[in-house]
């Protein structure tokens, strides 16, 4: 295991909250899989012990995944102007947003509609076991997140067997569409609004799935996804009424948090939902 100084990073809530679905805490070690790497991370005081697989010692990958390139202090400073956010930061210090692979985040959130987080996690593991590459983490075999290419080739019934229900068709279609043209490269090159429009052209992608993909898979900081909890919170704490539209709440958050709505939302929704 490598040892790296990283005091201000809340591994538990960042890795096990609802932004990525491939992580488990086994004993005091976080073990997770993504589409191209698996990793072990363990906190030791102000340091982390870590290893990556199948490529070992890949700090370039891990630091990018953990998104250590952003100016976290500044973001915290910016969003702390809101009193609820301030409380949330106090309750969950050092919560972060991960930088996930675009296709991985996209496919993950295609599994999410009307599912609980445990449900999504279960689907992702079944898909990984059926379609993902296998590799050995020391003494333990683990499946990587399936590549879109593999899902595109799959029989729809195989995908259905992963308990995704009516989402199977959406996942299959999306994977095929990602293979057809260089859609991934193109979407990754677009600005926020254009990328959002492109994502919404996929079957199964509405406001929520699009925004989750934009924030967790494409690195946009300036918007936040609203789930049912998010909507309730906006009503309870920020004066939106029951009829408030997704777009209205989204625009307001974008303005209010001035470029960092993603981070504000992450704190806010994590904080209130877990109470």
Partner DNA sequence: TCTCAGGGGCGAT
Partner DNA sequence: ATCGCCCCTGAG
Please report, as ranges, the residues that interact with DNA according to CB under 7 A.
17-19, 112-119, 122, 160, 163, 165-166, 203-210, 212, 225, 227-229, 243, 269
The nearer residue to DNA, 50 or 92, going by C-beta atoms, is: 92
Shortest CB 233 distance to DNA, Å: 12
Shortest CB 225 distance to DNA, Å: 5
Shortest CB 15 distance to DNA, Å: 12
Vertex 208, ends 202 and 213: CA angle to 5°?
A: 65
The nearer residue to DNA, 26 or 118, going by C-beta atoms, is: 118
Q: How far apart are CA 100 and CA 133, in angstroms?
A: 18
Q: How many residues does the chain have?
A: 275
The nearer residue to DNA, 56 or 243, going by C-beta atoms, is: 243
Could you tell me if 55 and 37 are in contact, meaning their C-beta atoms sit under 8 angstroms apart? Answer: yes
Could you tell me if 111 and 123 are in contact, meaning their C-beta atoms sit under 8 angstroms apart? Answer: yes
The nearer residue to DNA, 32 or 204, going by C-beta atoms, is: 204
The nearer residue to DNA, 114 or 181, going by C-beta atoms, is: 114
Shortest CB 29 distance to DNA, Å: 22
Shortest CB 129 distance to DNA, Å: 14
Burial of 47 (0-12, 13-18, 19+ CB in 10 A): middle
Could you tell me if 229 and 269 are in contact, meaning their C-beta atoms sit under 8 angstroms apart? Answer: yes
Shortest CB 103 distance to DNA, Å: 17
The nearer residue to DNA, 58 or 211, going by C-beta atoms, is: 211
Tell me the two tokens of residue 259.
């470029």
Q: Which of 130, 191, 137 is nearest to 160 (CA)?
A: 130
Shortest CB 212 distance to DNA, Å: 6
The nearer residue to DNA, 152 or 199, going by C-beta atoms, is: 199
Q: How far apart are CA 226 and CA 192, in angstroms?
A: 17
Q: How far apart are CA 54 and CA 42, in angstroms?
A: 18
Shortest CB 229 distance to DNA, Å: 6
Could you tell me if 266 and 224 are in contact, meaning their C-beta atoms sit under 8 angstroms apart? Answer: yes
The nearer residue to DNA, 80 or 122, going by C-beta atoms, is: 122
Could you tell me if 253 and 225 are in contact, meaning their C-beta atoms sit under 8 angstroms apart? Answer: no
* CA–CA distances in Å: residue 184 to residues 28, 67, 195: 36, 20, 10
Do the strands 38-44 and 29-33 form a parallel or antiparallel pair, or are they unpaired?
Answer: antiparallel
């Amino acid at each position: 295991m490598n040892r790296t100084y990283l005091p201000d990073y809340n591994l538990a809530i960042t890795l096990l909250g609802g932004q990525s679905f491939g992580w488990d805490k086994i004993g005091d070690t976080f073990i997770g899989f993504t589409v191209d790497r698996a990793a072990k991370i363990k906190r030791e005081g102000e340091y982390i012990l870590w290893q990556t697989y199948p490529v070992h010692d890949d700090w370039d990958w891990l630091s990018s995944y953990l998104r250590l390139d952003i100016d976290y202090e500044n973001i915290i400073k910016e969003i702390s102007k809101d009193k609820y956010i301030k409380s949330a930061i106090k309750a969950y210090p050092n919560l972060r947003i991960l930088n996930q692979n675009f296709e991985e985040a996209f496919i993950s959130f295609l599994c999410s509609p009307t599912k609980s987080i445990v449900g999504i996690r279960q689907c992702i593991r079944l898909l990984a076991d059926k379609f993902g590459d296998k590799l050995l983490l020391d003494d333990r075999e683990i499946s990587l997140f399936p590549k879109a290419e593999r899902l595109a080739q799959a029989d729809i019934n195989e995908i259905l067997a992963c308990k995704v229900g009516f989402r199977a068709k959406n996942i299959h279609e999306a994977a095929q569409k990602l293979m057809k043209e260089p859609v991934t490269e193109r979407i990754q090159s677009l600005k926020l609004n254009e990328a959002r429009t492109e994502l919404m052209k996929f079957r199964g992608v509405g406001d929520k799935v699009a925004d989750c993909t934009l924030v967790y898979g494409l690195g946009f900081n300036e918007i936040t996804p609203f789930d049912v909890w998010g909507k309730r919170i906006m009503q309870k704490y920020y004066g939106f009424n029951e009829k408030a539209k997704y777009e209205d709440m989204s625009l307001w958050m974008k303005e209010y948090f001035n470029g960092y709505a993603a981070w504000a939302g992450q704190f806010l929704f994590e904080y209130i939902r877990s109470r």
